[in-house]
Amino acid sequence: MGAPAQAQAVNDFPTNARAEYVFTCLSTNGQTREMMDRCSCAIDRIAEILPYRDYISAETVLRMRQTTGERSGMFRGMAELTETVAILRRAEAEAEIICF
């Protein structure tokens, strides 16, 4: 019984976060049934690798890096934030290999 509980603890993405990912993926890759399956697969794989809290942190860093100004600079230079983004990128790469 311990394994399903542990898997659920890692796979803690709320439905709205999964839906947002799938909608964004569909708008980027084409809005077909096949692509919906692939995009859904991708967020499921990411959720298996990365806790939701870490996913949100990495997404926040990526968004802040796109802004300009003095405050955005700290999101580009901190090693810890760079590692957070790197973990997300690895999860996305694995998801792409498996799902696309």
Residues of the chain with pLDDT under 50: 1-8
What's residue 15's pLDDT? 96
47 with 18: CB under 8 angstroms? Answer: yes
pLDDT at 68: 84
Instruction: Kindly report the pTM of this predicted structure.
Output: 0.82
pLDDT at 32: 97
Q: What is the pLDDT of residue 71?
A: 74
Give me the DSSP letters along 38-79: HHHHHHHHHHHHS-HHHHHHHHHHHHHHTS-SHHHHHHHH-H
pLDDT at 10: 52
Residue 1: its pLDDT value, please? 46
What pLDDT is attached to residue 40? 97
What Cα–Cα distance (Å) separates residue 81 from each residue in 13, 21, 70?
21, 21, 16
